[in-house]
Structure formats: structure tokens, C-alpha cells
Chains A and B, each alone.
Chain A
Amino acid sequence: MPTVAQLLSAVPAEDDAPPATPADEKLRALFARLSLRPVPTGALGRFWRLTGLHAKIGLAYGMHWLRGWFQNAERQERHRLDTHLNAAYRLLETMGYLRGAVMKVGQTLANFPDIVPAEFVDTLERLHFDAPPMHYGLVRELLHDELGGDPEDVFDSFETEAFAAASLGQVHRARLKTGERVAVKVQYPGIARTIRADFRGLTALLTPLRLSREWESVKSRLDFIRRALEVETDYEQEARFQERARALFREDDGIVVPRVYSEFSTRRVLTMEYLEGSHVREFLAGQPPQAARNAYGEKLLRAWYRLFYAGRMNYIDIHPGNLVFMDDGRLGLLDFGCVIEHADEEWELMRIGDRPLTTGRRDERIAFVKQWLGLPPDAPEDESMRLLDEYAESTWRPRFAGGEFDFGDPQEFRRAFDLVLQMMRKRYTRGRPVDAYITRWDFAYRSMLYRLQARIDVRPIAEEEVKATGWDRSDYALSI
């Protein structure tokens, strides 16, 4: 079994990285210090200590991501960039909460059983639920400030102990005076503003890069991440996404997005319908029959196809804590704090990508990869293109191959994982700002289906759902 140190060294490794620079040395030293230091808040401090392992992985990704911006610079620029890099690391060191947000990236790893040691996954998975709560005194003050009264006055009943950790806060069960059971998500005070301020600081610090060739890429990446953070730290925005998503599903879909109670919601408090059920671990512990696994897997697939095709959004945060296996067989989707909405330009690319996705033809896939990367159609096929194509093939095969696909096949899963790692090492996941999120989303759903060991005929579901786009697909049949 690998040690934590080995895992860490594996994550940010660069196959083709240049020899260590002073900045690299500083990174290592900084990383060692950061991993020992608590986030400077009470609740988060406790969370941080509990999630040390988790945090280290998240940080490794954060560093990798940050350093990735600087890799393409010309040699003569490296020294100058090193200076900025050092400054950026220093800033990262002083950040209060953004490190916590970066840490969230590490949560995705909780979805990868077998790849990392079982104990490691268990630890990560529990953290979705066992993060220590804010005590009730603090929750009461927050709710009083946000909703204008103490919880015991605003609600018919309110459980003083949180039942789940949530993005930047925690969730309490309660009952409205009108009788509905609800989940009340409460954000830790000041955390959203601090994250945004941290991010502004980071952006300002990187401004000297504007003269470099990397700047446009850095800037669009920063803008993209800033927008994602805005949503993640603003429960009102999250509520809007959630309501929009909720409207996309009908009763017979068997997929539920909880209703938002906007009169009991603010930027820092989100009150929604409570969904009774279990999470994936308890579901699997009951040794469900294959049919039940498949049924939930199909619902998960349908959910993200629906959100994507009809809603033009990607639901990124597929982790065990956000899926509820309801007692009546329905699947509940929680937490719309990490949702990517596709702008027109991106959506047009998605439309173009639909054809190779559907036909599975390599020439069409390669043409699309070039377009995605902003390369001319006659650009020569290089290693990055081949790797991206292989990744796309692996990701989309369940759909274009037709027939039942075994998502529980360990070889298939390991191949997809290896391809992602290779792409990350070679920094091919950075074609467009949205790429990092798409990879995360893609991998998260795939690993959830792997855990379910689901066998699903993907194509009929996808073909049914894609109709919502209104795309002209009349000539596709010839290519299949």
C-alpha cells in the first residue's frame, strides 16, 4: 500500500518537467508547512485537522494547477515567472479560505475506490458527513441574522445537531410551521467573502503576467474559476440553479431535485425539501440486486443528460454525499453549488461534438478535438491530440458502442483513470477553462457508476434526452 507521501508525490509529478527551480524547492517547503498548519478559523480549523490527508491531496492539485500556468513559458521567461510564482505561493500561504476551496478538489478522489487504498477512500468519504458541526449557539446567531428570528421561532422544530457537512457549512433537519420536513444549509460566517477576497488577491498578484503569452489563458481560467466560486459561495445563486434543475424533471423520471423554500433562504442559508434515503455506501451495504444497481445507474445517467441537454449545465459535484438513494427507488440530487452553465460559444461546440460522440468515428473525433483546442482543421496530429482522442473514446464509448455497458469493469475504469492522470501530467486538460471541470464531472459520474457496478444500455437514454436540444441530427444515422 502506498504511503501518503508516495501518493502526494505521484499527484503533481511532471513527466517532462524541467529540472527543479528555486521555485520548485520553495513549493516543496511551502507545501510541507501548509500541510501542518490549520486554516485560521475554529470550525474550519477543526475540519482542516480532521481532513489533513484530504487537504494534502487537494493542495497538491492546487499547486499542480497553479504551477501548470507557468509551464509553457519560454526558457528566458522562466526566471521572471519564477518570481511571480514565488509571490503566488506566498499569497497562497497567507490565504484563509481559498485553500479550503482548493481542498474541495481533493473530494473528487473519494469517488475512486480501488485506485487508492480502501482506508483512504473510507476516510475521505466519511468527511462528507462527519465534518464537526458549528455549535448550535453559532447556528442560532447566523439564522437569527439571516432569517430575522431564532430557529425555534422561525421553524416548527429545528434539530440542533447538524446531520451533514455541506460546501462551506453544514446542514440541519427542521420542520416548517406548515408541516414540511426541510434541510437547512447554513454557511460559516464570513467564509464566502473571504474566499472571494482571496481570489481577488490571487488575480491581482498574477497581473504582472499580462505581458506574457500565457496571460489570455490565465485570465480566462481565472474568470471561469471566479464565476464558479461566486456560485459556490452564494446560496441564492445555488438556489436558482436548483430550482431550474428541479423544473427539468417529471414525476415519472424517478429523479428528484429538492424544492427550495426561498422565504427561508438567503445568500448564507438555503432551506430545501428534505429527502429521506441513504447514501451510496449504505445502499451498497445492503447488497442490492443487479437490477437495483442498474436502475439507480440509469437514473444517474439520465439526470446528467437531462441537466446537460435540456438545462445546458453540468452538475459537477457528484460525490457520495450529494446523491440520495430514496426508499421508494427514486434518486435525489443535492447540492447545486458547483454547477457549470454553458455559454453560447461553448454550447455550439457541444453541438458539434455531438456527432463524433454519437457515431464513434475516429476521424470525426479528431476533427472535433482540433476544434475544441482552437486548432485549424489541417493541424498535424500530435501526441496531445492522440491522448485526448483516446480519452474521448474511452469516455464516450459507453454511448456510441451501443448495447449494455459494464461500468463495473475494473480494466475499463482503470484505463479511464490512467488516461486522466496522463492528461493531467502532460497538462492536456487545459484546452479551455471549462476543461478542468468537465474532466472532474466526467470522472465523478464514471466512478459513481463504477461503484454501483451498473450495467447500462446508455444509447437509448442519451438519444431520448438529446432531443431536448432541437439539434439537427438527421444525417447521423449514415455514420453509425
Chain B
Amino acid sequence: MRITREARQATRRGILDAARRLFAEQGFEPTTTRDLARTAGIAAGTLFNYFPTKEAIVTALASEALARGRSDFEGRRREQASLEEDLFAHVAAGLRRLRPLRKFLQPVLEAAFSPASAGADDAGAALRSEHLECVGRVLAAHGMDASSPLALQLYWTLYTGVLGFWVADRSPKQEDTLALLDQSIAMFAAWLRGSSSAVAGNGDHNTHPNP
């Protein structure tokens, strides 16, 4: 029997909705793929046609949340915003959407977000690339070199550091994460401007961040 694209999407949606509910209710570890399949109304084996692991389900949930965060960010972006404000607001909007997933994000951080394992997982790679495309657009809007792999790698390292901190942040309303994010963005922006001025001052000199 041939499954239509719509039916496939609906099944995928059903699994993700079941996962979001069960992970929130009973936690990530205790929830089995069997529980997920039962709640989604599919056979246990069918679930693996969509997601090879529970972690992959979380990655998909995170990816959706981040997409919504990007949309929030774009929707309320201010014309007068500084580079720092834009970068901060982009990450903060994503964190706000990720908040319902915070408790069970830890297991996928390494696979999906770690700078060291980027590319090892398709879903993780997609998530990273979508996020960085948005960062690239922000940089370009502020007249920065948006194609520098070095800059994007540095950004991603800081971002994943903030994310890792946020997942474990026990401060009230994760306020420490906001401070860390503010500092990290400020550091990145300062580095970026330093790099740009180094380029401007040195012509074709090999200090260019994007050789």
C-alpha cells in the first residue's frame, strides 16, 4: 500500500505530539518507544520508519521549536536594533520556544548541537544550518561578512555553550543564562568587529577571517 505524503506527515506529527506529551508527563528516560507508538496510535515498528531513536524525536522537536523561535524573532525585529541585540534576540526567541523541552534536551545536545559532532547526524546538521543561515542574514544586515566559516564556527561554539548552560541552569527563570548569553554575544560581536577592522586595515593580509 502506498502511503501518501499527507498521511506520512500526519503520522510524523502524531509521533511528535505524543513525544512532547509523554516526555513532559513522565520524563525522557522512562518513556519507551513502545509508549510513544501506542500513544501515537501506530505499531512499534512503524515508529522506527520515522525516527531511528528517541533522541532523534527530541532533535525534531527542538528543530520545530527553533523554527518557531526564528519566526518570532523575524516578526518582532526592530529596525534600530544593534548587532548584539539582534543576535541576542534570535537566540532568546529560540530558547523561549525550547523551554517546554528543556528538561529532556540534554540527551540530544551532544549529537545535535555539539560543534565537535556537527554533521554526524542529518537532523542535527539541518538544525545547525538553519540556525546559522539566520545568523548569516543578521550579520549581513549589519554589514558583516556573513560567509566566514571561522566566524560561524566561533558563533556556534558560543551558542552551544550557552545552550548547554541553559539546560542545566537552576537559577530562577534561568536568569543566569540571559547574563551568559549577553556576555557571549558581546564577546562575539567584539571579536567580529575586531576581525573586520583588522581586514580593513591590512588589505589582503592573512588575518582575514575568511581566507
Contact = CB atoms under 8 A, between A and B. Distances in A.
A and B: interacting chains: yes
Contacts of A189: 175-176, 178-179, 182
B14 to A, nearest CB: 31
Contacts of B76: 150
A43 interface: yes
B172 to A, nearest CB: 8
A260 interface: no
Interface string B63-99: 0000000000000101011101110110010001000
Contacts of A26: none
A230 to B, nearest CB: 16
Contacts of B80: 160
A190 interface: yes
B176 to A, nearest CB: 5
A175 interface: no
A144 B72 CA distance: 14
B178 A135 contact: no
Interface in B174-192: 175-176, 178-179, 182-183, 185-187
B182 to A, nearest CB: 4
A145 B96 CA distance: 10
Contact of B171 (A40, A137, A142, A193): A193
A135 B81 CA distance: 8
Interface residues of B, number: 24
Nearest to A192: B175
A188 B179 contact: yes
A372 to B, nearest CB: 41
A188 B171 CA distance: 14
Contacts of A134: 182
Contact of A136 (B81, B175, B176, B186): B81
Contacts of B92: 137-138, 140-141
B183 A135 contact: no
A160 B179 contact: no
Given A40-B183, A42-B186, A190-B171, A141 B178 contact: yes
A135 B185 CA distance: 11
B173 interface: yes
Nearest to B76: A150
A128 to B, nearest CB: 22
A137 B179 contact: no
A46 B81 CA distance: 18
Contacts of B96: 141, 144
Contacts of B182: 41-43, 134, 138, 189
Interface in B109-135: none
Interface string A126-139: 00000000111110
Contact of B86 (A46, A137, A138, A268): A137
Interface in A40-57: 40-43, 45-46
Interface in B100-116: none
Given A140-B89, A145-B173, A190-B171, A135 B179 contact: no
Category for how many chain A residues contact B = 20 to 34
A40 B176 CA distance: 13
Contacts of B88: 135, 137-138, 141
Interface in A46-87: 46
A137 B81 contact: yes
Interface in B146-183: 171-173, 175-176, 178-179, 182-183
Contacts of B178: 138, 141-142, 145, 189-190
B136 to A, nearest CB: 18
B179 A41 contact: yes
Contacts of A138: 85, 88, 92, 178, 182
Contacts of A45: 183, 186
B75 to A, nearest CB: 11
Nearest to A145: B173
B15 to A, nearest CB: 31
Contacts of B186: 42, 45-46
Contacts of A135: 81-82, 84-85, 88
A43 B176 CA distance: 14
Given A41-B182, A137-B92, A140-B89, A145 B175 contact: yes
A141 B89 CA distance: 8
Contact of A190 (B78, B86, B89, B179): B179
A190 B182 CA distance: 12
Contacts of B171: 190, 193
Nearest to A140: B89
B85 A136 contact: yes
Contacts of B86: 137
Nearest to A138: B182
Contacts of A140: 89, 92
Interface in A173-229: 188-191, 193
Interface string B8-44: 0000000000000000000000000000000000000
Contacts of A46: 186
Contacts of A137: 81, 84-86, 88-89, 92
B197 to A, nearest CB: 18
A150 B96 CA distance: 12
B78 A160 contact: yes
A415 to B, nearest CB: 45
Q: What are the 4 A-B residue pairs with the smallest beta carbon separation, nearest first?
A: A189-B175, A137-B89, A42-B186, A135-B85
Given A42-B179, A137-B81, A190-B175, 20 more contacts: A41-B182, A41-B183, A42-B183, A42-B185, A43-B182, A134-B182, A136-B81, A136-B85, A137-B88, A138-B92, A140-B92, A141-B178, A142-B175, A144-B96, A150-B76, A160-B80, A189-B179, A190-B171, A191-B179, A193-B175
29 contacts: A40-B183, A41-B179, A41-B182, A42-B179, A42-B182, A45-B183, A45-B186, A135-B82, A136-B78, A137-B81, A137-B89, A137-B92, A138-B88, A138-B92, A140-B89, A140-B92, A141-B96, A141-B178, A142-B178, A150-B76, A188-B179, A189-B175, A189-B182, A190-B171, A190-B175, A191-B179, A193-B171, A193-B172, A268-B175
